[in-house]
Chain A
Amino acid sequence: MRDVTGILIAGVGGQGIILAGKLAAQAAILGGMDVKTSEIHGMAQRGGSVVTHVRFGPKVFAPVIDSGGADFLLAFEKLEGLRNLKFLRPGGTVILNDQVIEPLPVLLGKATYPADVVEQIGARFPLLVINALAEAEGCGDTRAANVVLLGALAHRLPFPRSVWEEALRAVVPARFLELNRRAFARGFEIAASKQLRLRQK
């Protein structure tokens, strides 16, 4: 894939995925990279599955990641993590929010939510599971869960903390900046404290 890093951010419409994508893209720009991202607006945003693609490197052509083309999967919801696993390249890393949002077919009893998401993902890819809602609450507001997850991703990306600080200032509205700084630092800290390896069955 020629020096291009691909990040797929997956979740449910309304979880703050677009902001996380913006922050990652902004950091890559500040890190001197060419960047392209792709989002989906419209009907899918009404509680449906949504993904944001972020690709950066010396020169980027396609704004979308194909199956097998992502280095990182940042999953805001467990089922969406499982659904988008095919986008990861072999050896790619999963950062998974330990949150379940049951889709309507499950609520209606027409489908069953998979019980073993963490095990299924962990058996195939290096996996970091974070309870981002709880961590964000600890930072002051559950709405910063997206930035907790982004902080964890940031630990694995080749940009210094100063770049992330600048990206936060550029993207996050001033009144939420302190909260999101804390959330970012918490996510970064969690990722730094864990060695990722494939789980043995």
Chain B
Amino acid sequence: MKLLSGNEAIARGAWEAGVKVATAYPGTPSTEILENIARHYPEIYVEWAPNEKVALEVGIGASLGGARALVAMKHVGVNVAADPLVTLAYTGVNAGLVLVSADDPGMHSSQNEQDNRFYARFAQIPLFEPADSREAKDFLRIAFEVSEAFDIPVMLRTSTRVAHSKSLVREEEPVSPLKRPYQKDFAKYVMVPANARNRHRALEERREKLRALAEQTPVNRVDEGDRRVGIITSGISYCYVKEVFPWASVLKLGLSHPFPAGLVRTFAGRVENLFVVEELEPFLEEQVAAAGIAVRGKDLIPRTGELSPAVIARALQQDPSFAAVAREHGTVFPAEPEDQPLPLRPPVLCPGCPHRGLFYVLKKLKLNVMGDIGCYTLGGLPPLSAMDTCICMGAGAGMAHGMAKADPESAAKTVAVIGDSTFVHSGITGLIDIVYNRGVSTVIIADNRTTAMTGHQDHPGTGRTARREPTRALDFVKLARAIGVSRVSVVDPADLAATRRAISRALKAPAPAVVVASRPCVLLARPAPNPVPTDPGACKGCKLCLGLGCPALSLPDKRIAVNPHLCVGCGLCTQVCRHGAIGKAGGSDA
């Protein structure tokens, strides 16, 4: 037995299931699936795709080509991949294809907490919901069998507490899936209307067969208990239910779509009071209610944020009959203690972060900044406070263009800021739109040579593959020129004056412009501390340097102090100080 995270277990499960091709775009909490496959299973071809749509399309090609394919992404990534996904349900697969959707209830590192179980129902594909690492691995193998047996893509849906929790897993030997050579099939794979109409009907037939499977599969099972309380649950919520109500009758759904109405009806008939415990939306509950079965759920249990054993306990005790039974079993309902008011510790840009100089300049120029998703979103937090929007991957370029169309005069004070990996993901089309539709907007690429927030994955701009093999690197300057942007500049964001000049110049002329603010992520080099020297006697206590929001700077007793353990000597504060109180770091350039 080995202690594995859900993501490590999925990587192991992919290998055991005979997966040959694995693709992904990094996104918390899904990232470590592909990282672990790349690290431990050389038999599997892995790639970071430019975005989730391409990742799925590569997976589809691999499946048709005869290889079991695993495609992994975070919940919002499925929005990007939804176009091929929904039609793939029509065509079906050749070798098995499993899409892992890692949802993020509570938004530990996401812009929303959408419940992707609805995608399975929307696309009419089977949905597996593992509760821990063992199930993540076991369900993945079953998912591939189901994918091939029913000619359909399958969704394996995890959440942060499955993906990043560790539990014991028994490692097993890999299987050897049957060979499935590619066979041309116009009626099945070319979704022109005449074919698609047939395939939609075929999808309906497959769904009914899958419903029959969901009614009798052992992954949908009943834990017998006190029949006065019946709880239907799935995924991580099952662990929470068993933690606080080990005495209750539980119907655990591991294959939760298609909805096994017969199984639910039988279970409901054997218990007195029926509850559904699920995180986020009433996905199961609405289907129970639609089957005409009396049930309580989201009228008691929060629809926002993560659940926990205590949250569930406090919610269900509002039902008097439940509370009475629970008291008999000695279940205690702890009240949530009040939080003591303490200073918050929000995440911050690291000391030496190349984004800090860029956002300091954007703040000084008082620009409207149409932002994007990555570490640099932290540039929106005080004291930098220099990002106005964050909607989704790639949104900034299109938004800057739209704002300029709404108010042409605003164009001179509006920019889009987008990271290098994010630009490749879905910013390029926004830039094309600006050029094509006679726009004038400036797009700043915050190019730190990596996908930093998710833990430093390579991307098409870095010149390295997921296995660190050298490859041709995308050149942002040449790309922007090829798109038709004539004014392209490259600047080092650690040079505040040069960065300010480049951005001001880009905004001056009414024409599209691209500024590449290029400097590698400080965590890639992990420089040793290299503190800048200070002269507290020269410090006037003006706090100008604190405007950088650097965790290495403070003004105890109203005089500058540099934390010698944190400062890497990037020199931004040296440039900001007007009183010569901060010198240049000795030694090499950080």
Contact = CB atoms under 8 A, between A and B. Distances in A.
Interface stretch (B180-188, B280-288, B332-340): B332-340
Contacts of B32: 41
A46 B166 contact: no
A71 to B, nearest CB: 15
Contact of B546 (A2, A35, A108): A108
Interface in A45-104: 45-49, 60-64, 66-69, 79-80, 82-83, 85-86, 102-104
A38 interface: yes
Given A36-B132, A68-B334, A114-B342, A62 B28 contact: no
Contacts of B455: 41
Most buried by B among A35, A66, A79, A103: A66
B553 interface: yes
A112 interface: yes
B167 A82 contact: no
Given A12-B345, A46-B348, A46-B349, A104 B168 contact: no
Given A42-B454, A63-B132, A26 B345 contact: no
Contacts of B334: 66-68
A103 B166 contact: no
A106 B339 contact: no
B476 interface: no
A106 B1 CA distance: 45
B108 A44 contact: yes
B554 interface: yes
A112 B343 contact: yes
Contact of A43 (B109, B166, B308, B350): B109
B153 interface: no
A67 B335 CA distance: 9
Interface string B326-368: 0000000010110110111111111000000000000000000
Interface in A1-27: 2, 12-13, 25-26
Interface string B27-56: 011011000000000000000000000000
A41 to B, nearest CB: 6
Interface in B16-31: 28-29, 31
Nearest to A62: B243
B164 A111 contact: no
A123 interface: no
B309 A39 contact: no
Interface residues of B, number: 54
A179 B202 CA distance: 63
- Dominant SS at the B interface? loop
B551 interface: yes
Given A36-B132, A68-B337, A104-B551, A48 B29 contact: no
A70 B178 CA distance: 49
A34 interface: yes
Nearest to A21: B166
A82 B345 CA distance: 13
B315 interface: no
A66 B349 CA distance: 30
B551 A29 contact: no
B77 to A, nearest CB: 14
Contacts of A69: 309-310
A192 interface: no
B337 A61 contact: no
Contacts of A196: none
A82 B340 CA distance: 9
A105 B549 CA distance: 9
Nearest to A39: B164
A44 B106 CA distance: 13
Nearest to B342: A83
Contacts of A63: 132, 161, 165-167, 236, 239
B383 interface: yes
B343 A113 contact: yes
B242 interface: yes
A109 interface: yes
B466 interface: no
A37 interface: yes
A60 B372 CA distance: 40
B308 A104 contact: no
Contact of B168 (A29, A82, A112): A29
Interface string B537-576: 0000001001001010111000000000000000000000
B566 to A, nearest CB: 9
B375 interface: yes
Contacts of B242: 61-62
Most buried by A among B3, B132, B236, B239: B3
Contacts of B423: none
Given A42-B109, A61-B242, A67-B336, A35 B166 contact: yes
Nearest to B344: A105
B10 to A, nearest CB: 15
Nearest to B238: A61
Interface string A125-152: 0000000000000000000000000000
Given A25-B166, A63-B165, A103-B343, A46 B350 contact: yes
A37 B108 contact: no
14 contacts: A13-B347, A29-B1, A35-B166, A39-B165, A43-B28, A43-B453, A46-B348, A61-B242, A62-B309, A63-B132, A64-B309, A69-B310, A103-B346, A106-B343
**Which 10 A-B residue pairings sit nearest by Cβ, starting from the closest?**
A42-B109, A42-B28, A63-B165, A48-B347, A111-B343, A66-B310, A103-B345, A46-B347, A62-B243, A61-B242
Given A79-B345, A104-B345, A104-B348, 13 more contacts: A13-B347, A37-B166, A41-B32, A41-B108, A42-B453, A42-B454, A45-B347, A61-B240, A64-B309, A107-B546, A108-B549, A113-B343, A114-B342
